Structure 1
Amino acid sequence: MSAAEPHRIVLFRHAKADWPQVSDHERPLAERGRMDAAVAGRKLADTGIAFDLALCSTAVRTRETWKLAVHELAERPRTVYEERIYEASPGELIAVLNETPDDVRNVILIGHNPGAHGLAGILSGAVEGDARDRMERRGLPPAGFALLTFDGPWKSLEPGVATLTDYWAPAD
């Protein structure tokens, strides 16, 4: 990786979950969630990003979302299932991302709200186009994602250092 190439982070919220009589961590995707996860995977593929690393919450709904979305990508990145992403605050998510090796250029984090949406807002000190306006109108709904870029090592990732370059959410 050359110094001129920015790091890219996609903050990808799990797709719509069902509400069966199980613990929150064990909630599976709803039928709508399964469809939206595949569509989100196609939209991720359309970005042209070759992900080096996927950091995925251990919750059932995030693992199912990633399993459906990753099949749409040209290449499957190394995936790490990380317990700390479940119910994480933006600060806790930054701490997880700060541990990323510097030879990793592009990361996708599959997680939950409010942490994922909060992190997108906290990291983005700049914005391209109308991505922030669209994200503020819709939030980060199930199966939605925000794409951010930043320069410097992963350990330097902190509030305000990234640029929100894209945002996508499934149709209501």
Structure 2
Amino acid sequence: MSVAEPRTIALFRHAKADWPQVSDHERPLAERGRKDAPVAGRKLADTGITFDLALCSTAARTRETWKLAVHELSHRPKTVYEERVYEASPGELVAVLNELPDDARKVILIGHNPGVHGLAEVLAGAAEGDARERMNRRGFPAAAFALLTFDGPWKSLEPGAATLTEYWAPAE
């Protein structure tokens, strides 16, 4: 496989979390989040993308979101729980993505706002159809995802290098 083949990144925000008396890192999903995560998983499955790798924040709400969503996919990708995704800025997330192995062509990152939304905005130098308009209008609510593509090795991923090809958010 050539590193020049297009790469796909799905940026997936965790589903709606609850606010019990626990640390932020240990917050579980709320009832709505447990309903929305599988719906988002089905929407991801509908894209037809077979992910090679999932990078998931170590926070409880992201792990629970991924556990519920991945069951809807036709193929379960290798999952790496990456603590650097928790509370990461867009720049920190780009740095994590720059370290990915070049044999991973289709990656899903399960993380948090504002980092995930900011990363989608920073990477998207172009957009297809009305994806950017819908993302700008809706923001990046819980369980939303954006799909982006770019050419080249992961180490070349930088601001403006990708095309926003799809955006989805659950109904409010």
With structure 1 as the length reference, what TM-score do the two structures score? 0.98
Unaligned runs of 5+ in 1: none
Aligned residue pair count: 172
- Is 1:20 the counterpart of 2:20? The answer is yes
Q: CA shift at 1:2, angstroms?
A: 4.2
- Pairwise CA RMSD: 0.8
**Separation (CA, whole Å) in 1 of partners of 2:76 and 2:3:** 25
Q: How does 1:1-172 map to 2 (within 5 A)?
A: 1-2=1-2, 5-172=5-172
Unaligned runs of 5+ in 2: none
Deviations 1:83-129 (A, max 9, x none): 00000000000000001100110000000000000000000000000
**Separation (CA, whole Å) in 2 of partners of 1:76 and 1:146:** 19
Q: CA shift at 1:5, angstroms?
A: 3.1
DSSP 3-state at the match of 2:35: helix
Q: Is the 8 A contact 2:16 2:33 kept in 1?
A: yes
**Separation (CA, whole Å) in 1 of partners of 2:79 and 2:140:** 22
**Separation (CA, whole Å) in 1 of partners of 2:58 and 2:3:** 33
Extract structure 1 runs of 4+ deviating beyond 4 A.
none
* % same residue: 83
The AA in structure 1 aligned to 2:145 is F
DSSP 3-state at the match of 1:39: helix
Q: Is the 8 A contact 2:15 2:29 kept in 1?
A: yes
Q: CA shift at 1:3, angstroms?
A: 5.4
**Separation (CA, whole Å) in 2 of partners of 1:4 and 1:26:** 39
The AA in structure 1 aligned to 2:27 is R
